[in-house]
Amino acid sequence: MTASDSGEEESELYAEDAYGEAADESPEEHETAEVIEVLEVNESSFDEIKLPSDVVAETQEAWYTFITMATSRDVAGEAIYSAIFEAAPTLQPLFKTPRAVMSMRFMNGLNTIIASMDNPSALKVTTETLGFQHLDLDVTAPRVGMFRDAIVELFETELQARFSSKAKSGLMSILNYVGGAYIFIRREYASRIKIITKSWKTANKAQEEEEEEKEDQGSENDSSIHKTISTKGNSSTWKDGAKENKETREAREAKRAMETMKVPTTFNEMFIFNAAVMGFSSSNWMTLVLEQFASIVTNAANSYRLQEECDILALRLAKYRGPIQLNEFKAVMLAALRSLVPREWSSEHEVAWTWLWENVERLLRSILGKPQQQEKALERFIKSLTEQALVHMRNEVYNRFFLAAPAGQDHFKQSSSRLHFIADKVVEMTMEIYREPRRMVEDISALGLRHVGYAIPTELFAPFVSCFVETVKELTTDEVAQDAFRWSLTLISKMLVRTILEGSTVVMKAVNTNSEKQLRKAIAVAPRGKRAVWLLDISVGSQSISPLLWALQSGSLKTCKAMIQDLLTIRADRDNYYYGCDELFMRHPDIVKRLLADAEFLLPVLMDGLIWRSRMAQRGKRRVNYYVKHIIVDVDGNFSKALRWIVKAGNAKHICHPAVVMVADMLWSKIACAYFAFGRLGLLFILMCFVISQSVLPRLHTVSTQSDRIVMFALRLFVYLCSLGTFAVMQSRQIIEDVKSRSFSRCWRIPYPQHLADWKERVTLLLVITLILMATQEPILYCLSQWEGDFDGAGIFTQSCPAGLAHKDVYSSLGCIALLLYFARITDLSILSTWASAFLLVCARMLTELTLFLTALAFLIVAFATSASTLQRSMTDFSRADRAMLSLAEVALGLYPNSHFAELQTSGLLLATVSVFILISLVFLLNLLVAQLNSAYQAVYADMVGFARLNRGKITLETLASVSQRRWRRFADSLSLDERLEFNEGDVGLAGGIQVLEPANAHPTNVEVIRRYGGSTSPSMQWPEDPDDDEDSRLERLEKIMSRAVKHMSKRQESRLGSSCSGHSSSNSSMDSEHSDKQ
C-alpha cells in the first residue's frame, strides 16, 4: 500500500505550501467538514478528510509509541512487513521488492501519512503522490481491508493497553481513506499517466533510432555524392571546363546543404523547429521551460516533485524580461509530440498531455509575477539587518527550535559559532535561490546528499522552517519580505527532504549505524548486476555520493571493511562472473590514497581482495591470479599512482604485500632495472676514470712519463666535463624549480630546497662543490705556462712545477673527499639485490646509535682532558688541554703507546683520572653501544626487507618518470590486461589480471575463494542467501515469531480466564435465584 520508491515521501513541510497557492484562495475553499470515523473504503471520490483532533492526537501518539518501542525504525518497518506478509497470504505475490527495501518504504510511507493527519490538504497531496506511484498494483477494497486489519492487529499486539479505542478508530479511518484514494486514483488517472509515460519513452526511443539511421544515411549520401562528382569529372572535356566547374560547385553546395540541414529527432529539436514554423522563434522563454520539461514529464505522477519543478521553473522564468504566454508552449508541445509519436497518437494522448500542461500552467500562474517583488523585498530586509538583529535572530531560531523539537538537540551538537554560521548560510540560501535558481538546485542537492550521511530525521525540517519563519516575522513588518523568506525556505527544505529520502538507502542506513551485520543484510537484497552500484553510488539528480567513501570519511570503518570485502568477493553463476574491482577503481581511482590517509589498516584488506588462489595444486605449483590492472595503469592507460602512494606512505609491511610485491618486482625487472643500470654504469665509468686519474697514474712511476701525463689530463678533463657539468646543471635546475615553487624543507628553522631532503641529492651537491674547488686548485692548470723547467717530471701537462706543488696538498685533500662522495653516490647499486640493500639500510639505521656513542665519547674526552691538564705540567701528553684530548682519544681508540703508560705512574692523581676515563668509555659506553646496536637491529630486522623494497620502489618510480610514453604503452600492451584469465583448467574467468604459478606450499589453502550459486542467472535477481551470513537473521526472526506467539497465548489465556469468571458468577447467581424460589 505504501511501497513507493525512495524519495517519494515528503514530510509535512508540504503542509506549509499554502504560500504559493493557498494564499490566493479564500479560506472557505479550504474548509473541510469534520468526519468522526471512516468505516468503509470509499472508492467513489477523493476529497480532503478531517478527523477529530483528539482522534488524530491519539493516533499519532500510538504511532510514535510503536516506533519508540522498536529498537530502530528499520525494526519497526520489519514488524509491519512481517505482519502484513503473514496475515494476508493473498497479498504475498505483490511483494516483489526485497524485504529490507520494502520494510523501509512501509515505514516511510506510513510515517508521512500519519504525520499529515492533522492537515487535510497536506494529507491529500501526500496520498495523491503515493497513489500515483501505486498505479501498477491492483489495489482493491478487500485487499485494503486485509492490509488495514494486519496493521491494526500488530498495534493491538505490541501496544496492548496503550492502543486506545480512539487511536484504533483513527488508524482504521486513515487506512480506509488512503486505500480508497489509491483505488480512485488508479481508476481515474492511471490511463493518463501511462499514456504520458509511454509516449514520452516512444519519443526518446525514436530519437536514438533516427540518429543511427541518420548516421548511416549520411555516409551513404556522402559516397553517392563523391561518386556523382567523379563521374561527371571523368566524362567532361577541356572544352566544357566552365560547365564542369559549375556542376561541381553545385554538387558541393548540395552536399553542404545536406550536411547542415538537420532533421529534428529529439523532442527539444522538434519543439524548436515547430516553434519557428509557428512564429514563436523569438519567444526565448520557451527555452527555459524546455530545459525543465523533461523533469516535469518524468515526475508527472509525483505531486510533490511536480510542484517543486514548477517552483524552480517559475524562479527561472522570473529572470526573463518580456511577455510570457504559457498557452503558446502548449500548442508547440502538442505539435512536437504529434510529430514524434505519429503512429500511436490519438485523442486520448491529446487529453492526457493537455491535462498535464493545464496542471503545470495552473501551478506556474499561481507563482509568476511574485518572485521579482519577493526578491527585492527580501534583499531589502537582509541588508537592513544590523549586527545586533542578526545575533538575536541566530539565538532565537535555535531557542524556538529546541523547544518545538527537543530531539533536534541531539543533532545540533556543534559549538554556538558553528550554529550561527549555519543560520547565516540559511539566510544566504533564501536569497541566492531567487538570484541563481539553476546553480542553487545543484548546490542544494549536494547539501542534501551530505545530510544523508548525517542521518538527519526529515521530520525535523518542518519545525526548523517554522521557527525560522516565526523569528523573521518578529524582525520585519513587511509582509512581502515575510512571504518571500517563507516561500524560498520552504522550497529549499522540500528539496533537501526529497534528496535525503531518495538518498537514504538501506546501505546508507547501515553505514550510519556502523553495523557490519546490517550492511550485509541490506546489500543481500540487491540485484546481482547492481550490487556494486549500491555500495558505490547514490545519485539524486546530477549529484551523487559514495556510501563507501562516506563510511571511510565518517569513521564507520567496520562497514567500510565489509564493503571492500563484498566488492572484491568473486561470485559466479552458470553464465557470468561478478567482481566489483573495476567498479571500485572506476568510482574511486584514488581509493589507495584515501585508505592510506584515513584507514591504513584497510589497505591489506583491499590488496587481499585482488588475489585469487586456486585450492588445487598441480606438480607442486598453484595458480594465482593477481587482478592488479588498476594498480599498474589508470583509466587513460598511463602509469597508475597507486604504487607511488604506497611508497610515499613508507609502511614497510604494506610494500611487502604479495600483490604489491608482484607489481613492484614486475615494473623493476621489465622496465626500471635496465634504465637504472644503464644510468649507474655511466656514473661507475666516471668513478673508474676518476680513480685512475687520482690514485693510479700519479703513483704509477716515480717520475711521470709524458704518456701518463697526457692520459691523466684527458681523464681529469673528462671527469670535469661529464660529471661536474652534468651534476651542476641538474642541481641548478632543481634548486631553481624549488625556489620558484617555494618548496622548502627546514633544518633547525633554516630553509633549504625541498629536493635536498634526499641524502643522495645532498651528496651530489657536495660532490659538485668539491669538484669545483678541485678545478680551481688543479696543479696542471698552474703549470701550463711552466712545462719546461729544471725540475723532475717537466713536460707537457706536468703538475710538478713549483706553482703546482704549492696547491697539490689542498688538491689531494679535495680529491680524497671527492672519491668518498663518489663511492657514497653509487651505493644505491645495492638495490640490484634486495638483501644487499636491506643490509645497507640496516647499517644506515645503526648510524644513529653510533653517533650517540661518539657524542658521549667526545664529551668525556673534553671533560677529562680539561680536568687532567690542570693537575701538572711535567708529563708532555697532558700538559695542555689540546694534547690531553689527543692522548685520551688515542686511549679510547687503542692507539696510545704502552710505554707512555709507565709515565702515568709517576702521578697517582693523573693515573686515577685516566683510569676512570678508561672505565667509563671503554667498559661502560662500549658495552652500552653493543647493547643499543643489538636492540636497534632487532627492531629493524623484521622490516628490513620492507625498507629495502621501499628504497627500490622510490628508484623505480624515479626511473619510470623518464620512460617514454611509447615504451610504456608497449609494456602495458604486453601484459594483456584486457584478456580473460582462467581460474582452473577450462574455467575462463575475469579480465584485468596477471596469472602466475607459485609454489604450492607458499600460501596453502583448501577453501574455494569464488562463491558459486545455482538457480536463475538473471542479473536482476539477487544472490541466494548465504547460510553462514544469514544465521543471525534467522535466529532474530525465530525470536520475533516466538515472542509474538507468547503474546497471543497470554492474550487468549486472559480472555479465557475472563469468560470462566463470568460463567462462574452467572452460575452462582442462578443457583441463588433457584434457592430463593424454593423458599
Express each pLDDT in 810-855 by its tens digit.
999 999 999 999 998 888 888 888 788 888 888 888 888 899 999 9
Q: What is the mean pLDDT of residues 895-912?
A: 80
Average pLDDT over every residue of 234-263: 43
Residue 678, pLDDT score: 84
Q: Is residue 1045 part of a domain?
A: yes
Residues 187 and 46 in one domain: yes
Residues 135 and 93 occupy one common structural domain: yes
pLDDT of residue 6: 37
Mean pLDDT score, 658-674: 91
Alpha carbons 456 and 116: distance in angstroms, whole number: 19
Q: Is 613 helix (H, G, I), strand (E, B) or coil?
A: strand
Write down the pLDDT at residue 247: 43
User: What's the mean pLDDT in 171-182?
Assistant: 87
Residues 333 and 385 in one domain: no
Minimum mean pLDDT among 357-366, 367-376, 564-573, 698-707: which range? 698-707
Helix axes 370-384, 416-435, angle to 10 degrees: 150
Contact 387, 458 (CB under 8 A): no
For the stretch 1032-1074, pLDDT in tens is 555 666 666 777 677 667 666 665 555 554 454 444 444 444 4
Q: What mean pLDDT, rounded, does the chain reach?
A: 81
- When divided into structural domains, the chain yields a total of 6
- In terms of domains, do 323 and 395 share one? no
Whether the Cβ atoms of residue 459 and residue 401 lie closer than 8 Å to each other: no
User: For 705-717, what is each residue's pLDDT tens digit?
Assistant: 888 888 888 998 9
Bridge-based pairing state of the strands 571-572 and 1011-1012: parallel
Which residues of 631-790 form beta strands (DSSP E)?
A: 744-747, 750-753
Q: What does the pLDDT average to over 213-230?
A: 39
Predicted confidence (pLDDT) at residue 87 exceeds the cutoff of 80: no
- Does pLDDT of 13 surpass 50? no
Residue 792 lies in a domain: yes
Q: How far apart are CA 466 and CA 486, in angstroms?
A: 9
Q: What's the pLDDT score for residue 1027? A: 59
Whether 907 is in a domain gets the answer yes
Q: Please state, in angstroms and rounded to a whole number, the distance separating the CA atoms of residues 116 and 125.
A: 10
Does 9 score more than 70 pLDDT? no
| Residue 664 pLDDT | 93
Query: Residue 842: what pLDDT?
Result: 83
CATH code assigned at 471: 1.10.490.10
What pLDDT is attached to residue 393? Answer: 92
End-to-end CA distance of the chain: 66
> In the prediction, which pLDDT does 229 show?
30
Q: Is the pLDDT of residue 723 over 80?
A: yes
| pLDDT band, residue 34 (cuts 50/70/90) | low
What pLDDT is attached to residue 1037? 62
Q: What's residue 498's pLDDT?
A: 87
Does 208 score more than 60 pLDDT? no
pLDDT score of 193? 84
Do residue 144 and residue 61 come from a single domain?
yes
Let me know if residue 999 belongs to a domain.
no
* pLDDT reported for residue 571: 92
pLDDT at 97: 62
Task: State whether 414 and 495 are in the same domain.
Answer: yes
Q: Residue 743's pLDDT band (boundaries 50, 70, 90)?
A: confident
159's enclosing H/E stretch is helix 141-159
Structural domain boundaries, residue 418? 370-503
Q: Are 862 and 926 in contact (CB under 8 A)?
A: no
- Supply angle C-alpha 274, 278, 279, rounded to 5: 120
- Rounded to whole angstroms, the Cα distance separating 587 from 560 reads 15
Rounded to an integer, the average pLDDT of 79-92 is 76
Mean pLDDT, rounded, for 224-230? 33
**Both 921 and 1067 in a single domain?**
no
Q: How confident is the model at residue 28 (pLDDT cuts 50, 70, 90)?
A: very low
Q: What is the DSSP string of 487-519?
A: HHHHHHHHHHHHHHHHH--HHHHHHHHT-HHHH
Same domain membership, residue 375 and residue 359:
no
Same domain, 411 and 446: yes
Place of cell 517563507: 486
Mean pLDDT for the stretch of residues 101-126: 82
- Position 647 confidence tier, pLDDT thresholds 50, 70, 90: very high
End-of-domain residue from the set 368, 385, 418: 368
Nearest Cα neighbor of 275 from 324, 334, 320, 222 is 334
Task: Name the percent of the chain lying above pLDDT 90.
Answer: 22
Render pLDDT for 39-77 as a digit per residue (tens, 0 to 9): 777 777 888 888 888 888 888 888 888 888 887 777 888
Residues 185 and 36 in one domain: yes
Query: In this predicted model, what pLDDT tens digit does every residue of 438-457 receive, in sequence order?
Result: 889 888 888 888 888 777 88
Residue 897 binned pLDDT confidence (cut-offs 50, 70, 90): confident
Q: Would you state the pLDDT for residue 251?
A: 47
Q: Which helix (H) or strand (E) holds 578?
A: strand 577-578
Tens digits of residue pLDDT in 304-363: 788 888 999 999 999 888 888 888 898 988 988 888 888 888 888 888 899 889 888 888
Q: What percent of the chain has pLDDT over 70?
A: 84
pLDDT by residue (tens digit) across 674-686?
Answer: 888 888 888 889 9
Residue that terminates a domain, selected from 163, 181, 203: 203
Can you tell me the distance from the alpha carbon of 744 to that of 863, in angstroms, rounded to the nearest whole number? 39
Could you tell me the pLDDT band of residue 1029, with boundaries at 50, 70 and 90?
Answer: low
The domain boundary, picked from 880, 912, 942, lies at 942
Whether 258 is in a domain gets the answer: no
Q: In what order do the strands lie in the sheet with 994-999?
A: 611-618, 621-626, 994-999
Q: Rounded to an integer, what is the distance from CA 840 to the centroid of its chain?
A: 40
Residue 521 reports pLDDT greater than 80: yes
Nearest alpha carbon to residue 371 among 465, 297, 299, 436: 436
Residue 691 inside a domain? The answer is: no
Provide mean pLDDT across the span 75-91: 79
In a domain, 974, yes or no: no
SS3 623: strand
Confidence of residue 873 (pLDDT cuts 50, 70, 90): low
- Say what the pLDDT of residue 846 is: 85
Q: Could you give the CA distance from residue 49 to residue 181 in angstroms, rounded to a whole number?
A: 11
246 pLDDT exceeds 70?
no
pLDDT at 603: 94
Do 299 and 416 fall into the same domain?
no
Amino acid sitting at position 355: W
219 falls within a domain: no
Check whether residue 170 and residue 22 sit in a common domain. Answer: yes
Select the more confidently predicted residue: 381 or 504: 381
Flag whether pLDDT at 799 surpasses 60: yes
* pLDDT at 527 > cutoff 70: yes
**pLDDT at site 344:** 85
Q: How confident is the model over 933-959, as pLDDT tens digits? A: 888 888 787 788 888 889 889 989 988
Q: What is the pLDDT of residues 458-516, one digit of tens each?
A: 888 888 998 999 999 889 888 899 889 999 998 999 899 888 888 888 888 888 888 88
Minimum mean pLDDT range among 409-413, 718-722, 1025-1029:
1025-1029
* pLDDT confidence of residue 1079: 42
